[in-house]
Structure 1
Amino acid sequence: MKVLCTFAVVATCHTIGAQEYDLVIKNGHLIDPKNKLDQAMDVAVLDGKVAEVSAHIPGEKAKKVIDATGLYLVPGLIDMHAHVFWGTRPDEYISNSYTSLPPDGFTFRSGVTTIVDAGSAGWKNFKTFREQTIDHSDTRVLAFLNIVGHGMKGGAIEQNLGDMDPKLTAIVARQNADVIVGIKLAHYSGPEWDPLDRTVEAGEQVNMPVMIDFGGNIPELSLETLLLEKLRPGDIFTHCYAHVRGRIPIVDENGIVKPYLMEAQARGIIFDLGHGGGSFVFEQALPAMEQGFMPNSISSDLHTGSMNGGMKDMLNIMSKLMNMGMSLQEAVASSTWKPAIYIQREELGHLSMGAVADMALLKMREGDFGFADTKGWKILGDKKLECELTLREGKVVWDLNGISMPEWGK
C-alpha cells in the first residue's frame, strides 16, 4: 500500500512538472503594438503573467489549451474615458448616481480589462468611489480626479470656482497615486481660463496629465490658445470629433481641419476620441480622418446616455473607425499601448514576457453592418470586431462561445 501511494505521488508530481504553464493560447494572430508583433504566435500564461511568447508552444506544457485559430490575440483593451462611479444618489448626475455604470457589466464582453473613469469623483468624494467601485471591481479601474471637489455632479456644482482647489486635489491624487492617473476638467461654461489653469496647476503638482472636456463656454474660448499655449505636451483633449455649442469645431465650414490642430498634435497634445452620447459626429470625423488627423486614443465615454446609442462599446467604436479608413493595427494600438503611455501605466497594454496576462481574442466578422454617430447619421461597413474571450490576470472572465471549455460528452 505504501509503495502504491509513493508511486501515485511521484506520478502526480511528474505530471505537474511537465505542465509548466496554467494556460496557452495557440494558433492566434498576435497584434502587440509595443513589441511590433503582427503575426501568428502562441502565448503562455503562468500565475497571471505572460510566461512565453513564441511561434510554437507545445500544448502538453499547459494545463489548459485555447485554440485561437482564425482569431486576433491582442493586449486587454484600455478604455481611457468612461464613467463608472455608479450609485443611487438622486440628482447627482455621474458622481455616485444613476448615469454612471458598474464597470464589470460593460468591460470584459468587449475585451476591455482596464477602464479609466474620467473625473466622476473629486477630492471630496474620491474615497467613496474607491471603496464602492474601484475596490469591488474585477476590471482594473483607474481614474482622473475632477478639479471640482464634489466631482461631476452637473449643473451649478461644476461651475463653482470656489470648489476648484489645486492643492487639495493634488493631495488626494498623490495619496491615491496607485489608481489616479490625472486631473480632469469638464463642463465649465464661464468665459475665463481660471478653471483650466487650476487644473493644469494640480497636474503639475503631481506630475500627471490633465484631460480637458472643452466646450460650453459663452462666449467661445480660443481652441488655438488652449492647444498651443495652455495645455502641456502629454495633456489630453477629449471628444476630439465633437461639434457642440460653445466650442470651436476642429473642422471648419469648408470641411478643412484647422491647421493648428496638426501643430498641436505634433507638439504632444493627445487627442482622445471620447465617443459618448453626443461627442462623435461624422461631419467632423470623416473629413478629419481623410486629411490624416487621427485620434491618438480611442475611448468610449461610457455612461447610460451612450451605451445604447451610436457608441455601444469599445469594439463598435474601433470597428467604426476601421470602416472609416483606420487600420486594424492602428485601432488596436490606440486602444492598448498608446493609452497606457498617456496615463503613465506602461506596465499595461502589451504582452511582453512578465507582463500581466490581460488579453482578448477578437473575431473579425465580415458582412453588412451599420455604424451611427451621435446626431442620427450612419455609415455602412463590411467588417466588425467581436470579442470571443477575455483574460484578466490570466483568468477567463468572458467566453462568448465557450472556447476555453471542454465539450460536453467528449
Structure 2
Amino acid sequence: MKQLYLLILGLSFWLPLSAQDFDILIRGAYLIDAKNKIQDTMDVGIAGGKIARVAQSISPDKAKKVVDASGLIMSPGLIDIHTHVFVGSKARTFADGFSSVSPDDFTFRSGITTVVDAGTSGWRNFETFKKNVIDASQTRVLAFLNIVGTGMSGHSTQENLQDMDPEKALEMLQRYPDILVGIKIGHYTGPEWLPFENALLASGNAQKPLLVECHLPRYTLAEQLEKMRPGDILTHSFEEIEERMPIVDEQGQLRPFVMAAYERGVHFDVGHGGAGFWFSQAIPALQQGLKPHTFGTDLHRFSMNSGMKNMLNVMSKFIAMGMEVEEVIQRASWQAAQVIQRPDLGHLTEGAVADLTLLKLLEGDFGFVDAGGKRINGKHKLETELTIKGGKVVYDLNGLAAKNYN
C-alpha cells in the first residue's frame, strides 16, 4: 500500500493514503436473500462484524481478505428453531444433562449461526442454562421457555401441575426478552388442559409464540390446533406414531382441520429428531400444499446419529422430495427469523449482523432416511464450505479464507 511520510512537530509517522473498506470480501457466490428478494451472483463486503456492502461487483483492492466463492451458494446464517443444548453433567435427562449437546460442536459445520433451544429449561433453571451454555457459546443461542419450571428434567417433574406457573414464566420472558422467544408445552401425559392453557396465557401476555411439541397423548391433534393462534408453532409436524394423530390420514389425505390451521397462520416446523419425521407423512403433505415453515432438527445426543444427522441433511431431504433449493434456504433463514420474531436475523441487508454461510450443492446419488428407517434417493445434497458469525470465520471446510502455505 502506498504511504505518506509526515513530519509534524518533530514527530514522524506513516499515514496510509487509502484505507481498505472491508475486513472480508466474498466474491462470486450465488446469493439467496429472501428478505431483499435477491437470487443472483453477488459480492458481499463485511466490516466491523456487519454487512457493509452487497453489489454485483466489488473491487478486491478494498478488502483485507478476499474469498473466492465462485460456484457456491451464499445464504444468511441458518436458524435451527428446535434444538436441545442445555448440556450438563446430569445423566438421563435433557435439562442440564447428558442428553443435550453443546451447540458449538454442531452448528457452524452445518451453516447454522443461531439455534433456539426448545424448552429444555423452565423458569426455575433458565438462568443456569444462560450462565453455563448461552453465555459461553459462540453460537447465538435463543430459547423457548418450558411452561414447567424445571423444564425437561424427567417424567415426574414434567407432570407437576403446580410447577406450571404462567406468572413466573412471564416474569422470566420479560427479564430476558432478547433471548427468550416464546413458551413451549410438551411431554405431558395427563388429561387436564391446565398446562396448555397456562402456556397460552404466558406466551400471549408476552406477545410471543407458543411452541407445541406433540408429546401430549391425551389431547387430540384437532384440539391442539384449534387452541393455537396464528404465529404459534407445531413441531414434529410429520410424525407418525401411536400416541398422536398424524396430519395425513390412512388414505394419504391431509386432514382438513390441519390445512385449515396452516391457512390461518399456525406455523409447522419439521422437528425431525429421532422419531419425529416420516416420509409417509411428509411426501403426501408436501404434494397437497403443506410445506414446512421451518426446518427445526430436534438436535440432541440421539437424533444427530439417526436419520436426522444435521439441518442440511433435513433440508436436502425436502429438496429430494421436490422443493426448490431457493425455497428451502429461504425457510431456513429469513422465514425462520420471522417465525421467532427476530427480524434482525436471517438476511444480509447492509448494516445487518454478518452471519452467513457458503454452501455447496453436491450432485450425485444420495440416500435420505426417516424415523421409520425408510429411505428415498436424491440427486443433490447441501454441504457447508464456510460459515461466518458476526463477521468472523468460524468454520472453513477447505480453507477458502486461509492464506496459502507458500
Under TM normalisation by the shorter chain, which class is it? over 0.9
* Residue of structure 2 equivalent to 1:128: 128
Alpha carbons 2:5, 2:15 under 8 Å: kept: no
State yes or no: 1:88 paired with 2:89: yes
CA shift, 1:139, in A, is 0.3
Aligned match of 2:55? 54
Counterpart code for 1:225: E
Distance in 1 of aligned mates of 2:214 and 2:161? 16
Shift of residue 407, structure 1, vs aligned partner: 1.4
Cα deviations by residue, 1:155-199 (Å, 9 ceiling, x for unpaired): 121111111000001101111112000000111111232211110
- Pick the aligned partner of 1:364 from 358, 361, 366: 361
Q: Report if aligned partners of 1:94, 1:100 keep a CA contact under 8 Å in 2.
A: yes
How far residue 9 of structure 1 moved from its aligned partner, in angstroms, is: 7.5
Task: Point out where structure 1 has 5 or more consecutive residues left out of the alignment.
Answer: none
Deviation at 1:217, TM superposition (A): 1.5
2:114 partner amino acid = T
Checking the alignment, whether the CA contact within 8 Å between 2:5 and 2:14 is kept in structure 1 is no
Q: 1:257 to 1:204 in 2, by over 3 A?
A: same
Q: Contact 1:19–1:63 (CA<8 Å) still a contact in 2?
A: yes
- Which of 334, 338, 341 does residue 341 from structure 1 map onto? 338
Paired residue type of 1:252: D
Query: Alpha-carbon deviations, 1:299-348, whole Å to 9, x = none?
Result: 11100110111111111111111001111111111110111111111000
Distance in 1 between residues matched to 2:108 and 2:85, nearest whole Å: 14
The one-letter code sitting in structure 2 at the alignment partner of 1:200 is: L
Residue in structure 1 matched with residue 396 of structure 2 by the alignment: 399
Contact kept in structure 2, 1:115 and 1:140, CA below 8 Å:
yes
Where 1:167 maps in the other structure, the secondary structure is helix
Specify the code of the residue in structure 1 equivalent to 2:256.
P
Aligned AA (2:73): Y
**279-288 or 395-404, larger mean C-alpha shift:** 279-288
Distance 1:127 1:299 in 2: 24
Partner of residue 24, structure 2: 23
Distance in 1 (CA, whole Å) between partners of 2:332 and 2:269 is 10
Instruction: State TM-score, norm by structure 1.
Output: 0.95
Which residues of 2 match residues 5-404 of structure 1 at below 5 A? 12-14=15-17, 17-91=18-92, 93-218=93-218, 221-228=219-226, 230-404=227-401
In structure 1, distance between residues paired with 2:40 and 2:302: 38
Q: Spell out, residue by residue over 1:278-300, the C-alpha distance to the aligned partner (whole angstroms, 9 max, x if none).
A: 10011111111111211111111
Secondary structure at 2:317's aligned position in 1? helix
Q: Against the structure 1 CA distance between its residues 9 and 403, is the aligned structure 2 distance closer, same or farther, given a 3 Å change threshold?
A: farther
Cα displacement string for residues 72-117 of structure 1 (whole angstroms, at most 9, x for unaligned residues): 01000000000000000234x1100000000001000010000000
Check conservation: 2:217, 2:243, Cα contact below 8 A: yes
Letter paired with 1:276: G
Return the letter of the residue paired with 2:44.
V
**CA–CA separation in structure 2 for the residues paired with 1:107 and 1:280:** 20
The SS at the match of 2:332 is coil
Aligned-partner Cα distance in 2 for 1:146–1:6: 65
CA contact (8 A) 1:18 1:60 kept: no
- Give the secondary-structure state (helix, strand or coil) at the position aligned to 1:18: coil
- Deviations along 1:109-164, one digit per CA (max 9) or x if unpaired, are 01000000000000000110000000000000000000000111121211111110
Change (3 A) 1:173 1:408: same
Amino acid aligned to 2:123? W
1:232 CA drift (Å): 0.9
Q: Distance in 2 between matches of 1:88 and 1:6?
A: 62
What is the RMSD of the two structures over their aligned residues, measured on CA atoms? 1.5
Runs of 4+ that moved beyond 4 A: 3-12
Contact between 1:368 and 1:382, CA under 8 Å: does it hold in 2? Answer: yes
* Equivalent pair of 1:216/1:245 in contact (CA under 8 Å): no
Cα shift at 1:216? 4.2
**1:202 alignment partner, SS class:** helix
Secondary structure at the residue paired with 2:149?
coil
Contact 2:170–2:205 (CA<8 Å) still a contact in 1?
A: yes
Q: Which moved more, 1:184-193 or 1:394-403?
A: 184-193
Question: What letter matches 1:119 in structure 2?
Answer: G
Could you tell me how far apart the structure 2 residues matched to 1:205 and 1:259 are?
30
Amino acid at match of 1:388: E
Unpaired runs of 5+ residues, structure 2, are: none
Q: CA deviation at 1:246?
A: 2.0
3-state DSSP of counterpart to 2:90: coil
Contact 2:274/2:302 (8 A) holds in 1: yes
What is the SS of the residue equivalent to 1:23?
Answer: strand
User: Cα gap change, 1:59/1:4 in structure 2, threshold over 3 Å: closer, same or farther?
Assistant: closer
| Greater fraction strand | 2
- C-alpha distance in 1 between matches for 2:84 and 2:13: 53
Paired with 2:137 and 2:19, the residues of 1 have a C-alpha distance of 34
Separation (CA, whole Å) in 2 of partners of 1:397 and 1:318: 21
For residue 235 of structure 1, what is the amino acid of its counterpart?
A: D
Query: Between the two proteins, what is the percent identity of the paired residues?
Result: 48
- Contact kept, 8 Å, 2:42 with 2:55, in 1: the verdict is yes
Instruction: Name whichever of 209-218 and 197-206 sits farther off.
Output: 209-218
Alignment length (residue pairs) = 401
